[in-house]
């Protein structure tokens, strides 16, 4: 798994997206754990101001690099099972059955999993 740590304001290249308040609150809670918040390469990041206004610890956010060997589902599954993420945010390109399986896996490993959608630009 390849990743890029986003740990300072100059490194945070966050695009303007609109995220649901409840999900930003859940990301803030997840960031209080001593683990990472992982975004897949296919997932747009929330706006830095939104993250900061909900007190999300941006130093714990990692945007994963695209994998040449694994599908996004495999990347999310591995991220969850490694146990070093409090939350994983994936794109909305994952089908409903796989989402349910990943949600169950996340529950088993004490992790949150979110799915973004490009048309609404909200986390689900």
Per the document, the length of the chain is 124
pLDDT of residue 24: 85
80 phi/psi in degrees, rounded to 5? -70, -50
pLDDT at residue number 124: 37
Residue 9 has pLDDT above 70, yes or no: no
pLDDT band (50, 70, 90) for residue 22: confident
In the chain, where the domains are located = 32-116
Task: Answer whether 111's CB lies under 8 Å from 80's CB.
Answer: yes
DSSP 43-100: SPPPPHHHHHHTT--GGGEEEEPPPSSS-HHHHHHHHHHHS-EEEEEE-TTS-HHHHH
Q: Is the pLDDT of residue 100 over 80?
A: yes
Per DSSP bridges, beta strands 36-39 and 85-90 are parallel
- Name the more confident of 2 and 55: 55
The CATH homologous superfamily to which domain 32-116 belongs is P-loop containing nucleotide triphosphate hydrolases (3.40.50.300)
């Amino acid at each position: 798994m390849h990743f890029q740590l986003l740990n300072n304001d100059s490194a945070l290249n966050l695009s303007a997206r609109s995220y649901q308040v409840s999900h930003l609150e859940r990301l803030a809670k997840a960031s209080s754990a001593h683990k990472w918040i992982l975004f897949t390469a296919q997932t747009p990041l929330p706006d830095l101001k939104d993250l900061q206004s909900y007190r999300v610890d941006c130093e714990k956010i990692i945007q994963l690099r695209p994998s040449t060997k694994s599908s996004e589902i495999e990347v999310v599954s591995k991220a969850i099972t490694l146990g070093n993420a409090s939350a994983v945010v994936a794109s909305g390109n994952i089908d409903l059955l796989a989402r349910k399986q990943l949600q169950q896996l996340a529950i088993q490993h004490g992790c949150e999993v979110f799915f973004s959608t490009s048309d609404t630009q909200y986390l689900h």
